[in-house]
């Protein structure tokens, strides 16, 4: 019997993925593709990609998936997607890009963070928008572009997230979800509208921003150009993108105040999502965004996660048994303090001046020592997020995911030991895609109460409480070194 299919897009900074799912959010076997990519990193702190190049990668992923699945005769009735948060791209009156797509890791606007902090009460702005003043977000980037590129700023008629640019190209309309809008830093997460106070200061009108969809169930249809290119999608209903971090919580079955999702991909994050309003007071080291109009997601993000691990493997001559060596070592046996801010700092300090460092090097230090200290340091940063999260929710379970953790059991064990909590590695390989599909199915009435959706465990990681105590002392030393770094 033929059944309707859902095409899922996961638009990330390091790849674009496309896959088909059935009406119960199960992936169709051998119906997925992945296109690798990376943002261009510049010496002055840039992290960018050409908008049309990035859109071509999305189109190519769809092309490849449709070609790969010609054997399937079922109709593709819906398209659900998720995309990376915090990107910014400008377009002119004809919809042509006026800038590159600036990613969350682009820090060239960092000096404008201080301007914002002097102009506003940051704690009040943080509690309205869920975002600290930081180069990750739009306010600092818009100030930077206005000052450094006035001609570009003047001819830009709309400022968009990359997913909004995709919508503009495919549908002819730059529409955004509350999920994507909530990651910009100029969105009132309580009113679900653009923040009037920040817009006034930035001299930006609501018309210069994407339209926020009226309902989470809103859908769009392809324009004539792309309907002709993809006949199988010509009648499909397309949902606006939601943020990949929010989708990850949904797909991982982490939709209650007591269950946290811990993800290490290129970057890292720890998040709690639930139905209800944002906390009355958001802890200073955390952010709070929206999954949709009835759900919020609160947590912290690390700029260095799997990207740091890849950097270490690329630049250090590591022995093949490095992981096995670390597994046999006691906590902090390297004697080093590693500060994991090669890509800058977000949670929990949001210090624009933070940079990576290794303290305690001696002539006896080897590359395994450095690797161990680096893996432990990321775990300490997660512990800082965990402590602040527990001030607004009570976490009883942690579900881990992400390619970096799947490839490094020793790192997963270190994180469990530092947190002093058992972890569950879920068996959903693509939880963000699955989350986007689940939200789409719920919005059209095909699924009820996806908050109770669960996933089975691939494996469990038991925390060693004896090591937790040792790591607690090591965290104190790490914190002292951190203070030195940001002075």
- Mean pLDDT confidence for 32-47: 94
**Residue 452 DSSP symbol:** G
Indicate if the pLDDT at residue 452 is higher than 80. no
In the chain, ranges of CATH 3.30.420.40 domains: 5-243, 253-427+456-487
Long-range contacts of 156-159 (CB under 8 A, 24+ apart): 156/90, 156/91, 156/92, 156/98, 156/99, 156/208, 157/91, 157/92, 157/93, 157/208, 158/90, 158/91, 158/208, 158/209, 158/210, 159/88, 159/89, 159/90, 159/204, 159/208, 159/209
Distance CA 116, CA 25 (A): 43
For the chain, what's the residue count?
487
Q: What is the mean pLDDT of residues 118-127?
A: 97
pLDDT class of 1 with cuts at 50, 70, 90: very low
Residue with tokens 């002119």, as numbered in its chain: 92
Give the other-Cβ count within 10 Å of 225's Cβ: 11
DSSP state, residue 134: S
Rounded to an integer, what is the distance from CA 104 to the centroid of its chain?
Answer: 9
Greater model confidence, 353 or 288: 288
pLDDT at residue 332, rounded to an integer: 87
Distance CA 305, CA 374 (A): 10
The model carries a pTM of: 0.94
Round to whole Å and give the CA distance between 375 and 305.
9
Pick the more confident residue, 265 or 35.
35
**422-439, pLDDT tens digit by residue?**
999 877 778 899 999 999
Q: What is the pLDDT of residue 73?
A: 84
What is the pLDDT at residue 459? 83
Question: Dmax over Cα atoms in the chain, in whole Å?
Answer: 69
Count CA atoms closer than 13 A to 334's CA, side-chain side.
27
- Dihedral of the CA atoms 429, 6, 189, 294 (nearest 10)? -100
The residues near 4 (Cβ < 8 Å, ≥ 6 apart) are 23, 74, 75, 76, 77, 78
* Superfamily holding 253-427+456-487: ATPase, nucleotide binding domain (3.30.420.40)
- pLDDT tens, position by position, 344-382: 999 999 999 899 999 999 999 999 999 999 999 999 999
Question: Which pLDDT belongs to residue 465?
Answer: 92
- Which of the pair, 443 or 92, is modelled with greater confidence? 92
Instruction: Give the HSE-up count for residue 164: Cα atoms under 13 Å, Cβ half-sphere.
Output: 31
> Which band of pLDDT confidence, cut at 50, 70 and 90, is reported for residue 449?
confident
Check whether 63 has a pLDDT greater than 50: yes
Q: Is 229 helix (H, G, I), strand (E, B) or coil?
A: helix
CA dihedral in degrees (430, 431, 434, 439; nearest 10)?
Answer: -150
80: closest CA among 232, 237, 203? 237
Q: What's phi and psi for 450, nearest 5 deg?
A: -70, -10
98 near 256, Cβ under 8 Å? no
Strands (E), 276-325: 287-292, 295-302
Q: Are 308 and 284 in contact (CB under 8 A)?
A: no
The pLDDT value recorded for residue 429 is 77
Q: What is the pLDDT of residue 457?
A: 66
Query: Domain 5-243 falls in which CATH fold?
Result: Nucleotidyltransferase; domain 5 (3.30.420)
User: Could you give the percent of the chain with pLDDT greater than 90?
Assistant: 87
How would you class 455 by CB atoms within 10 Å of its CB: exposed for 0-12, middle for 13-18, buried for 19 or more?
A: middle
Q: What is the pLDDT of residues 323-336, one digit of tens each?
A: 999 999 999 899 99
pLDDT for 485 beyond 60 = yes
- CA-to-CA separations, 200 to 12, 81, 197, 206, in angstroms, rounded: 31, 32, 5, 10
How far is 436 from 195, CA to CA, in rounded Å? 26
| Residue 294 backbone dihedrals phi, psi, to 5 degrees | -110, 0
**What does the block give as tokens for 187?**
């969105």
Q: Which of 65-69, 284-288, 306-310 has the lowest mean pLDDT?
A: 306-310
Q: Is the pLDDT of residue 2 over 70?
A: no
Distances (CA, A) of 352 to 93, 136, 221, 234, 311: 34, 10, 41, 46, 21
pLDDT confidence of residue 299: 98
């Amino acid at each position: 019997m033929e059944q309707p299919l859902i095409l899922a897009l996961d638009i990330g900074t390091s790849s674009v993925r496309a896959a088909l799912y059935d009406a119960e959010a199960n992936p169709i076997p051998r119906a997925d593709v992945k296109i690798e990519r990376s943002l261009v990193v510049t010496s002055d702190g840039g992290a960018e990609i050409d908008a049309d190049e990035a859109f071509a990668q999305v189109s190519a992923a769809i092309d490849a998936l449709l070609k790969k699945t010609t054997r399937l005769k079922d109709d593709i009735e819906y398209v659900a997607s998720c995309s990376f948060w915090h990107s910014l791209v400008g377009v002119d009156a004809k919809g042509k890009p006026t800038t590159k797509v600036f990613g969350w890791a682009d820090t060239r606007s960092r000096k404008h963070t201080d301007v914002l902090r002097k102009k506003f009460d940051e704690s009040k702005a943080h509690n309205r928008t869920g975002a600290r003043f930081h180069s990750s977000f739009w306010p600092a980037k818009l100030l930077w572009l206005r000052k450094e590129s006035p001609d570009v700023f003047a001819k830009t008629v709309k400022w968009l997230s990359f997913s909004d640019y995709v919508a503009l190209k495919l549908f002819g309309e730059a529409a955004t979800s509350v999920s994507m809008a909530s990651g910009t830093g100029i969105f009132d997460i309580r009113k679900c509208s653009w923040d009037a106070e920040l817009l006034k200061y930035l001299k930006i009108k609501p018309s210069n921003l994407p339209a926020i969809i009226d309902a989470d169930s809103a859908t769009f249809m392809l324009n004539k150009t792309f309907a002709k290119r993809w006949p199988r999608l010509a009648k499909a209903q397309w949902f606006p993108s939601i943020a990949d971090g929010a989708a990850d919580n949904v797909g991982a079955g982490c939709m209650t105040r007591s269950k946290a999702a811990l993800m290490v991909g290129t970057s890292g994050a720890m998040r709690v999502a639930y139905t209800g309003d944002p906390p009355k007071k958001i802890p200073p080291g955390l952010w709070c965004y929206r999954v949709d109009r009835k759900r919020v997601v609160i947590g912290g993000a690390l700029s260095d996660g799997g990207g740091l691990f890849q950097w270490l493997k690329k630049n250090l001559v590591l022995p093949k048994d490095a992981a096995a060596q670390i597994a046999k070592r006691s906590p902090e046996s390297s004697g080093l303090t590693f500060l994991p801010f090669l890509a800058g700092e977000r949670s929990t300090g949001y210090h624009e001046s933070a940079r990576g460092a290794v303290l305690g090097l001696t002539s006896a230090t080897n590359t395994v020592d450095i690797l161990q200290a680096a893996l432990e340091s990321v775990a300490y940063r997660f512990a800082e997020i965990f402590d602040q999260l527990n001030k607004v929710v009570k976490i009883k379970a942690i579900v881990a995911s992400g390619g970096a953790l799947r490839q490094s059991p020793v790192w997963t064990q270190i994180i469990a030991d530092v947190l002093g909590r058992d972890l569950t590695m879920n068996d959903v390989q693509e939880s963000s895609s699955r989350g986007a599909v689940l939200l789409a199915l719920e919005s059209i009435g095909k699924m009820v109460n996806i908050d109770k959706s669960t996933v089975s465990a691939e494996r469990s990681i038991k925390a060693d409480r004896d090591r937790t105590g040792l790591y607690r002392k090591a965290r104190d030393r790490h914190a002292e070194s951190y203070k030195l770094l940001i002075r």
